[in-house]
């Protein structure tokens, strides 16, 4: 921000942002010599049962774009999760302990209402393969009808992690060992997931 109170803007290459294509430009506000999206607060919701390296990839990149990032752990009473909501919160906190602008909360009901109640304007959705896109677009349009003030930011998973999902973890669990899980889960939570599966 300039001394007269007006907002200074500059043109940067999208390639300056993590995992963005080259040769495209966008205008962004300049604040404290760091590149961040105009809003300071975003919510990344999901079931995270369990939290994977794909999830961590999205969180780490989003944490560089926003001053504060809330990870919302959705609770579906009709499903039997591998981990309880409290356990999922603990696992996420362990996996993201190196990040200082992360908050982990649980919620029930409509995700967009949870985001709205927190006062956030940006909801982050991680997208893996291209087959996720139709369903995500449908949900985005429904959310826009319910809460027009909230925007959905799609973040594509890193190429090496595009196949990683919580469902995959559950599928390979019966035959996976610690070394196998290390390819899909953050290191701080591998042992806890193994212990749960062994029960």
CB–CB of 163/33 below 8 Å? Answer: no
Q: Is 79 a catalytic residue?
A: yes
Q: Is 199 a catalytic residue?
A: no
Catalytic residue among 55, 61, 88, 125: 55
Q: Summarize the chain as % helix, strand, coil (round to 5).
A: 40, 25, 35
Q: How far apart are CA 133 and CA 130, in angstroms?
A: 6
Q: How far apart are CA 51 and CA 97, in angstroms?
A: 13
Helix (H, G, I), strand (E, B) or coil at 56: helix
Tell whether omega for the bond before 52 is within 30 degrees of 0, i.e. cis: no
Count of H-run helices and E-run strands, the chain: 7, 8
Nearest residue to 18 (alpha-carbon basis) of 58, 74, 68: 58
Catalytic residue among 3, 10, 22, 79: 79
Catalytic residue among 36, 64, 93, 128: 128
Q: Is 34 a catalytic residue?
A: no
Q: Is 25 a catalytic residue?
A: no
Catalytic residue among 47, 63, 165, 166: 166
For 151, phi then psi, to 5°, come to -105, 145
Hey, what are 156's tokens?
């594509």
What is the set of active-site residues? 55, 79, 128, 166
């Amino acid at each position: 921000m300039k001394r007269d109170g007006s907002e200074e803007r500059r043109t940067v290459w999208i390639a300056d942002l993590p995992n963005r294509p080259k040769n495209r430009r966008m205008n962004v506000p300049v604040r404290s010599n760091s590149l961040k999206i105009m809003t300071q607060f975003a919510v990344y919701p999901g079931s995270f049962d369990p939290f994977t390296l794909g999830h961590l990839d999205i969180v780490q990149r989003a944490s560089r774009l926003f001053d504060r990032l809330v990870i919302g752990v959705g609770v579906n009473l009709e499903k039997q999760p591998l981990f309880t909501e409290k356990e999922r919160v603990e696992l996420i906190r362990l996996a993201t302990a190196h990040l200082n602008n992360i908050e982990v909360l649980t919620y029930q009901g409509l995700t967009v209402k949870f985001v709205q109640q927190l006062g956030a304007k940006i909801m982050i959705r991680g997208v893996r393969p291209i087959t996720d896109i139709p369903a995500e677009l449908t949900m985005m349009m429904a959310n826009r009808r319910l809460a027009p003030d909230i925007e959905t930011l799609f973040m594509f998973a890193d190429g090496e992690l595009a196949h990683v999902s919580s469902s995959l973890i559950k599928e390979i669990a019966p035959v996976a060992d610690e070394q196998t899980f290390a390819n899909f889960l953050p290191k701080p939570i591998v042992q806890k997931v193994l212990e749960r599966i062994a029960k």
